[in-house]
Amino acid sequence: MRIIQSNNNLELSQVSLGCMNLPLEDEIKTEEILEFALSQNINYFDTADLYQFGKNEEVVGKLLSKYRSRNNFTIGTKVGNEFDIQLQQKIGWNPTGRYIKEQVKNSLYRLNVDSIDLYQLHGGTIEDDKDETISAFEDLKAEGIIKSYGLSSIRPNVIDYYIKNSNLDTLMMQFNPIDNRPLELMDLLQDVVIMARGPLMKGIFTQQFANVLQQKFPGGMFGYSSKDLTAILSELMEVTGDLSALSYRYILDYSDIIVSGASTLQQLQNNLDSYNKALEMNSTDFTGILQNFKKLRYEDHRI
């Protein structure tokens, strides 16, 4: 497993585990996934206070704490979405300094840690008081409450501001061969670790792509019809034999880290098999077919 080092000296595995879809209702299965990830040298685990309204942080923190004496790993979480634990629902967006400093205490407690390795703003709008948000992160970093901070956003105007006005360490965006909108931003992102979420596009970049398209995207997506996507993916599947590996290879050509979720141990094993295949692939071998995917751009939230 390749390790990526950030400007703030975080060491992050090139394939990292997105924890949002872990089977929290079964802690034995969840621990099997976490333990296997550690055994394969995955050392970055990505969660958020919003996931299952605090429960995800709580379970991930509890289970990973068992392995802290034997493994070095990094936990990243996110803040900014207000939610009601009793009602189990999101109730608003709040990137104020006061809210961030209040919520970091709750995340520390749930994760069972003394400091948070990577604290990320979970969204953001151009209307936010971004300087106040940045100041809160800088204060927490200076106090040792967090080691580093990042941004999880797809909005170009928000990304541009944080890149130019903060010590942002990481940026997380959805990115894969279909949703390739981040390509237009890559020149701006030379000094941050780029984390790609959604590498399999809800299952489209798997062998089950035809069923996924039929069940989840019968009307198509991103300007493609379901029929068009089926044709492109069928051709790629015939040539590569592993759409997940192809997506990983494509992503690694442009970004640093793949944050890949898993709800079962088998899914994680499959993801790692595809990653290892991707390391042996050359995406230029598939340039002709990949060009069938449109080059997209963000139409909203422009700089």
Q: Residue 111's domain is classified under what CATH number?
A: 3.20.20.100
Extract the runs of DSSP E, i.e. beta strands, from the chain: 3-5, 11-13, 15-18, 44-46, 74-79, 81-84, 89-93, 118-122, 149-152, 170-174, 193-197, 257-261
**In a 3-state reduction of DSSP, which class is residue 258?**
strand
Residue 207 domain-assigned (yes or no): yes
Length of the chain: 303
Among all residues, which ones are annotated catalytic? 51
Instruction: Tell me, yes or no, whether 236 lies in a domain.
Output: yes
What's residue 299's pLDDT?
87
| Any domain includes 225 | yes
In a domain? residue 275: yes
Contact 260, 22 (CB under 8 A): no
Look at residue 115 and tell me if it is in a domain: yes
Count CB neighbours of 117 within 10 A: 20
Is 48 among the domain residues?
yes
Q: How many domains does the chain have?
A: 1
Does 296 map to a domain? no
Cα–Cα–Cα angle for 244, 248, 226, rounded to 5 degrees: 50
The answer on pLDDT for 35 being more than 90 is yes
pLDDT tens, position by position, 217-257? 999 999 999 999 999 999 999 999 999 999 999 999 999 99
Please check the confidence at residue 49 and state whether its pLDDT lies above 80.
Answer: yes
What is the tens place of the pLDDT at every residue in 73-82? 999 999 999 9
Residue range of the domain that includes 57? 10-290
What is the model's pTM?
0.95
| Residue 303: band (very low, low, confident or very high) from pLDDT cuts 50, 70, 90 | low
